[in-house]
Amino acid sequence: MTNVKSTTIGYPYIGENREWKRTIERFWKNDLTETELEQQLKQQRIHNLLKQEKLGIDQVTVGDFTQYDRVLDLAFMFNIIPNRYKTLEQSPSLKTYYAMARGSQETVACEMTKWFNTNYHYIVPEYTGEKLSLQNNTLLSLFNEAKEVLKNTPKPTLIGPFTFSKITKGYNEQQFAAYLVQLLPLYEEVIQQLVDAGAEWIQIEEPLLTQELSDEDLKLVQVIYKQLAENVPQAKIMLTTYFEGIPQYEQIVQLPVAGIGLDFVHGFKENSQSINQFGFPNDKVLAVGVINGRDIWTSNLKEVSQQIDAILQLVQPKELWIQPSCSLQHTPVTTASETELFDVLKNALAFADEKLEEIQQITNYIKEGKWTNPQVIQDNLTNLQNLANHVSRNNEEVKNELNALTEADTKRGVPFETRLEVQQKLLQLPSFPTTTIGSFPQSAVVKKTRSDWRKGDLSNEQYEKFLEEETLRWVKIQEELELDVLVHGEFERTDMVEYFGEKLKGFAFTKKAWVVSYGSRCVKPPVIYGDVQWVEPMTVKETAFTQQHTKHWVKGMLTGPVTILNWSFVRDDLSREKVTNQIALALRKEIEALEAAGIRIIQVDEPALREGLPLRKKNHSDYLRWATDAFKISTSTVKDDTQIHTHMCYCEFNDFIDPIISLDADVISLETSRSHGELTHSLKENPYPYGIGLGVYDIHSPRVPSVEEMATILEESLVTIPVQRFWVNPDCGLKTRGETETVAALKNMVQATKNLRNAQLS
């Protein structure tokens, strides 16, 4: 019988009550010294390790904890620090680390983008020709720390050299070889030091291996792992993949590593076929990712155990590890705090801790050939069936609306050129109209007032009066800044998805189901557990109120159907296409209600459109078809003179222009500040035929860019955007920023725009 053990790829580092987030942010505010920061983070790390061990995990992973972002950790450790940060201090410390992550008054932050097709953003490594070196083996420190408190030897993990080198920017094709020649010895040094310290296994994460590799890249992977095997022969490497199956399975499983980790959730079909066709080396350990690390639903334990049994009928690996499909950082920590969910739903949920319990139960079953507690299996099946039969999943009205959709529901009445003419006639906006993306700073007073109202300490009337006063205060600020198109500020909203989910049928909300979006920014995605249905207007009251108190046009602000889908935990019994169309039909009714209330500019944000893109190119077209159709189902019924805006941020657009065009939105606003003009260059190659606003400053950084800095972006953009379709805006919403810096930055933005207008007239 194959030896079986339980393990993890990674565990959420934020803590049950977001202790990690609060610690980091207190340090940023200078409320903690660096020593105090390290002490508190160490306590949190050890708590996480001991909890996993207590839940029965045989081999706990270390290196999944970070001070901001794991990709940034690796770049910083290898001295991949762009030259613009070298003037901050003589020897790079946390000051430089956080400047790279967040920017500073002296310099802009590094670029940030999505981690594959998840909702997590990582800091993009940026190589500017510096000499690479191992500054400090932080992974070794974490390993030694964990070894002192755990019964079994922990497993260090790090992102692999192939994936890391490919997501690094800054070098050209001719420089890549020189970059890799410097990089690989550093990996060898890290791994050797871990082996010397007693690491029995080292997990190397190579999610990029789940994409279709060119012959050249496949050869590169083979060279990398041959070199690692030759130069650190004592290391037992577990090469872990996730998010998909492995296209070049036959070649990858023959790499000179001691074990291979495969995703049997998102890559189940492909990896199963590969194992059936090519087998698996019996001298290697096989790690099977059988518990979904990206959702919140209870696994069908009987079904999962049968899948593992089927694998073991085909292959006899040296050892079998049972683990989640990917790091559990994409799931909340525990359901223990979710006391307000109705039983049918709560009993069908499994967060990180519950998923580890599932792994432990399945591991014991595979070891013993029977369930330790048969009642667990019966309860598991009952819980799944109860949710499937719940009335929320059987809404005939929603089903009929879906069935009635036709191709006509995805088309605007007239072409953009015709719409633009009637919109300009109605709106009478100046050249280069200025606006914001939607939200304004949510001060401590805003958050406390909303919290008091939710707890019942403030009446509805008192709360609405506060919202009106705050809205009017910001209307005045916007008018004084001389912005052209105003927003109401979204002071009633905690989150751009949660707010809408609270007002639609089919959504549930948790108390502490937080996950990290980027840095210390945590989100609490709603749970789409039933059929989605519009009930009553969700945004009309606030938007119409604002419009009544200004002579400027006010934008209605909505989150798009694909973003609501991708930023929620989604039911797994219905296709994502059908769920998205349910949301789209609900949003259509809201847009029609805004239009009926006299709102003529409506923004439907889709920042998550690209992140839902399947990793395989062959699957892109089907996703893009239904994703863009859903946006158009939401927006297609408006009048010609109603201007539809959309917004996207932190996304590689070079190969994504066509889907954006197919949305048929009248105006799109895009991030460009962190990408340092790359999008402007891309638009030269692929012109965008609608209205467009390139974000002229980075709202994720506290720094206030100068007029000259923003003017440079505007002037460079003139090459690619015609004057009559050119909008000016920040690159994202301003909710997380402070009021003083927000006003100062917008003041500079408006001044830069005025300068541009004057230059055009002269």
Per the annotation, binding residues for Zn(2+) are 647, 649, 671, 732
Q: Which of 165, 116, 122 is nearest to 325 (CA)?
A: 116
112-115 LR contacts (CB < 8 Å, sep 24+):
112/518, 112/650, 112/674, 112/700, 113/650, 113/651, 113/652, 114/610, 114/611, 114/650, 114/651, 115/71
- Alpha-carbon torsion (483, 484, 490, 491), positive or negative: positive
Residues facing residue 114 across a β-bridge: 121
Please report, in range form, the residues annotated as the binding site. Answer: 18-21, 114, 119, 437-439, 490, 521-522, 567, 605, 611, 647, 649, 671, 732
Cα torsion through 268, 272, 274, 277, rounded to 10: -160
Please report, in range form, the residues annotated as the binding site for 5-methyltetrahydropteroyltri-L-glutamate. Answer: 18-21, 114, 119, 521-522, 567, 611
Rg (CA), the chain: 26
Helix ranges (DSSP H) in 107-237: 138-147, 161-167, 173-196, 215-231
Please report, in range form, the residues annotated as the binding site for L-methionine. Answer: 437-439, 490, 605
266 has catalytic annotation: no
Q: In this structure, what token pair is assigned to residue 112?
A: 């940030």
Q: In this structure, what token pair is assigned to residue 642?
A: 């109603």
d(C-alpha 119, C-alpha 294), whole Å: 10
d(C-alpha 568, C-alpha 525), whole Å: 5
Give me the catalytic one of 121, 488, 645, 700: 700
Helix ranges (DSSP H) in 214-351: 215-231, 249-252, 268-278, 301-314, 343-346
Place of tokens 């705050």: 470
Q: Give the strand pairing for 504-508 and 527-534.
A: antiparallel
Query: Do residues 497 and 524 lie in contact, with contact meaning Cβ atoms separated by under 8 Å?
Result: no
Query: Do residues 711 and 756 lie in contact, with contact meaning Cβ atoms separated by under 8 Å?
Result: yes
* Catalytic residue set: 700
